[in-house]
Amino acid sequence: MTYRIALNFEDGVTRFIDCKEDEKVLDAAFRNRINLPMDCSDGVCGTCKCRAESGSYELGDDYIDDALTEDEKDDGLVLTCQMVPTSDCVVAVPVASAMCKTGQSGFTATVAKIAPHNDAAIVLDLEVEGDAPAFLPGQYVNIGVPGSGQHRSYSFSSVSGASTLSFLIKRVPGGLMSGWLDRATPGTQIELTGPLGSFYLRQVQRPLLMLAGGTGLAPFLSMLETLAQAGSTQPVHLIYGVTRDLDLVLVDQVEAFVARLPNFSYCTVVADEASCHPRKGWVTQHMSPEALNAGDVDVYLCGPPPMVDAVRRHFDAIGVQPANFHYEKFTPSQPAQDRAA
């Protein structure tokens, strides 16, 4: 029996390792050539302290309170030199991957399908050669734009372990990746690095409120599929906001989760004043008190940077602070000359 442990480093790099039964995470990482922070390796110094984001494990009682207090343990902190997983786990490591002598991994994939949705978005499917990459639902990968020496970041909309990777990509007029996708043909090879990011679905312990802005829907498709496959019964409400009517893409995929996730609901919102959509405005105008559950809710938000700021301001204004607020900003890439300046 082995367990899959996702080590999520401070710089967003994620490495997956297999941990044998009764093996400590620190030892499993070392076996996989990842040098997690450590000193005594004996539960005394506390140097190996990390946060277990999800999964079950045992810590035993061979460590001292100076290394890990009872409160820290209750708060989800662990000593990796003592931690023996009893399920798959996600462990947040509070240092950069390079400090642990590891880093991003790269892989090659082939364009399988490019499906445009009006002039709003493109669904890109890539077929992976060899082992399908593991990632946490919500994470992203850097995709090289062939022939340009540049890459762009895209959130997986598919689930970990599938050989077909799916992405939902906004069509940006004059955009490097958007332009390449207009010309690309199935069969083209493409380079990827990742998985990356700290925006991923944590252990579900309370109702979830998901806020998607435009193609920010992508990571939620991955999260919802993961929840459906796990048979989750926690309430999940998704608010999917877009600028124009034609930006509302893949609503049929969202709708399909209503039948598969027992407590899933969603609504769509269009900002365009000229739209005939039944719900207009911003996602903040359509957050019901039920969805906010008096703050006992984990909020996940993915979209353009101004949306993140607007939602933060909204929580302050209504005096409701969610138990957890995780977000991903789809920050546009800087042109190469600006990066150099």
Ligand X SMILES: Cc1cc2nc3c(=O)[nH]c(=O)nc-3n(C[C@H](O)[C@H](O)[C@H](O)COP(=O)(O)OP(=O)(O)OC[C@H]3O[C@@H](n4cnc5c(N)ncnc54)[C@H](O)[C@@H]3O)c2cc1C
- Residues that bind ligand X in the complex, under the rule CB under 6 A: 140, 152-155, 167-170, 172, 174-178, 197, 215, 218, 328, 330-333
Which of these segments, 44-52, 204-212, 306-314, 325-333, binds ligand FES (CB under 6 A)? 44-52
Q: How many CB atoms lie within 10 A of CB 252?
A: 7
| Closer to ligand FES by Cβ: residue 46 or 303 | 46
Stretch that binds ligand FES, among 43-51, 87-95, 106-114, 246-254 (CB under 6 A): 43-51
77 belongs to the binding site for ligand FES (CB under 6 A): no
Which of 17, 81, 168, 239 touches ligand FES by CB under 6 A?
A: 81
Q: Which residues contact 255 (CB under 8 A, 6 or more apart)?
A: 266
- By CB under 6 A, tell whether 47 contacts ligand FES: yes
* Residue type at 303 in one-letter notation: G
Closest residue to ligand X, based on beta-carbon distance: 175
CB of 302 to ligand X, least distance (A): 8
Burial degree of 71 (CB within 10 A; 0-12, 13-18, 19+): exposed
SS3 214: helix
Contact of residue 40 among ligand X, ligand FES, none (CB under 5-8 Å per partner type): ligand FES
Residue closer to ligand X, measured from CB, 29 or 168 = 168
Six token digits for residue 162: 């599938």
Nearest to ligand X of 45, 217 (CB atom): 217
CA distance 152 to 316: 33
CA distance 71 to 58: 16
**Least distance (Å) between residue 253 CB and ligand X:** 14
Shortest spacing between CB 22 and ligand FES, in angstroms: 17
Using the 8-state DSSP alphabet, how is residue 11 labeled? Answer: T
Residue 44 as a binder of ligand FES (CB under 6 A): the answer is yes
Minimum CB–partner distance for residue 25 and ligand FES (Å): 10
**Residue 62 or residue 296: which is nearer to ligand FES going by CB?**
62
DSSP string, 95-158: S-GGGGT----EEEEEEEEEEEETTTEEEEEEEESSSPPP--TT-EEEEEETTTTEEEEEE--S
Question: In this structure, which amino acid lies at residue 289?
Answer: P
Minimum distance from residue 142 beta carbon to ligand X (Å): 8
Interface residue with ligand FES, options 7, 25, 28, 45 (CB under 6 A): 45
Distance between CA atoms of residues 146 and 143, nearest Å: 9
Smallest distance from ligand X to CB 313, Å: 21
Q: Write the DSSP assignment of 148-198 as a string of letters.
A: TTEEEEEE--S-TT-SEEEEEEE--TT-HHHHHHHH--TT-EEEEEEEE-S
The answer to whether residue 41 forms part of the interface with ligand FES (CB under 6 A) is yes
Give me the residues that bind ligand FES (CB under 6 A), please: 38-48, 67, 79, 81
